[in-house]
Amino acid sequence: MVLLDSNIFILDRFFPRDDLYGPNKIFLGQLESIEAAVSAFTLLEICGAASFRLSKRELESWLYRFPTFYPVLILDAFGLKGKEAQEWWNRFVVEVSEKISRKMTFGDSLLLREAESYGMEAILTWNTKDFSHRTRLPVLTPTAFLRQRK
């Protein structure tokens, strides 16, 4: 399973003139054949970015029915369980802070934490430089990932 970055979906919905729009569309066209996931945090990041361009109704549709638009699994925050929530939160803050200390944004730190915690095989993003030398996981563009699968 691979974990997808928010920029893949933001690019698809809002930036049809971007140079990466075509390759991104090709990747998304093959998404049904890929075991792919989005973390709950990434979904919130997507909705936050989309909130400037979508109506409230469209935004709620993305938030609550995202897998009907894109064939992905939405992952709960790794490790969040009932009574253990406070302990989870403490660990979460430490883990995310450690990643932020690698000079990463909060959103990228969350994505990396979830990818490593869930044991993903790779992170797919158009912004590979944001993750370069910050993880042991392969960090690939969607196009590079599709090439690798052939």
Distance from C-alpha of 75 to C-alpha of 72, rounded to nearest angstrom? 9
Residue 150 pLDDT exceeds 90: no
Give the range of the structural domain holding residue 43, as residue numbers without chain letter: 2-149
pLDDT of 101: 78
What is the pTM assigned to this prediction? 0.74
**pLDDT at residue 70 is higher than 90:** yes
Q: Estimate to the nearest angstrom the gap between the alpha carbon of 80 and the chain centroid.
A: 18
Answer with the residue of higher pLDDT: 50 or 142.
Answer: 142
CA distances (Å), origin 63, targets 72, 77, 101, 108, 109: 13, 15, 29, 19, 21
- State the Cα–Cα distance between residues 43 and 13, nearest whole angstrom: 14
pLDDT digits (tens, 9 = 90+) for 18-69: 999 999 999 999 999 999 999 888 988 888 888 878 888 888 888 889 999 9
* CATH number of the domain to which 75 belongs: 3.40.50.1010
Place of tokens 């569309």: 25
Q: Are 2 and 122 a contacting pair, CB within 8 Å?
A: yes
Domain count across the chain: 1
